[in-house]
Amino acid sequence: MQDRKLKTLTGVVVSDSGDKSVKVAIDYKVKHPRYGKYVKRRMKIGVHDEQNQSGVGDLVEIAQCRPHSKSKSWRLLKIVQKAVRV
């Protein structure tokens, strides 16, 4: 098997309502083609969370993997920072 580099991203969990599933928001900025101003964009990615260990507000690192379902092609690698619960 090849030792290939995983495509990883870091984002914030915005939903954990499904079993073994979370939604992670990836925020980034892109330059507008005409005006040159930077505009905020957001991707929401379905992520497979095997142990249901992440919660809303957690900062997580995710990696691309084979499709687990129609909407999940990413898996949870680690929780970088847990959210503060009030």
CATH code, domain with 27: 2.40.50.140
pLDDT (tens digit per residue) in 37-73: 999 999 999 999 999 999 999 999 999 999 999 999 9
Residue 68 lies in a domain: yes
Residue 21 lies in a domain: yes
Tokens of 15: 């939903």
* Closest C-alpha among 7, 13, 18 to residue 66: 7
Tell the residue number behind the tokens 């005006």, with chain if given: 35
pLDDT (tens digit per residue) in 7-36: 999 999 999 999 999 999 999 999 999 999
Judged against a pLDDT cut of 90, whether residue 75 lies above it is answered with yes
What is the structure's pLDDT at 3? 62
What is the structure's pLDDT at 2? 59
4 Cβ partners below 8 Å, 6+ apart? none
Give residue 64's domain range.
8-81
